[in-house]
Amino acid sequence: MSGQTWTWVGFILFVLSMLALDLGVFHRKSHEVTIREALAWSGVWIMLALLFNLVVYYWLGPEPVINAQIEEQRQNDPDAAPGQRLSDRHFVRLAMENAQVEGEHR
């Protein structure tokens, strides 16, 4: 398996283990949740999400992913406008061809 596959497997296992930990260990007994407890648990999960963001940031670097995708596309298709997907170009080309055909029939 590739590195990206292992990353996804690890992420999914982490999320499932956190869910099992939350439901199976921390909330084993049914009770009325206070606002303070709800805010505390929300803070825990938000901090965990921010920590995940920080790990991804340092792992992939500060350059936005979209810039990397645009650069990859530019290398594969130098005629494409920045940020324009190939499927968009083909859709526009098809729409223009259809408009021309409709115009010829009028």
- Contact 70/83 with Cβ under 8 angstroms? yes
Q: Where are the alpha helices (DSSP H) in 26-106?
A: 35-60, 65-76, 86-105
Cα 82 to chain centroid, rounded: 20
57-77, pLDDT tens digit by residue?
887 776 655 666 666 666 666
d(CA 77, CA 5): 27
Give me the residue spans of the domains in the chain: 65-106
pLDDT single digits (tens) 83-103? 555 556 656 666 777 676 555
- pTM attached to this predicted model: 0.51
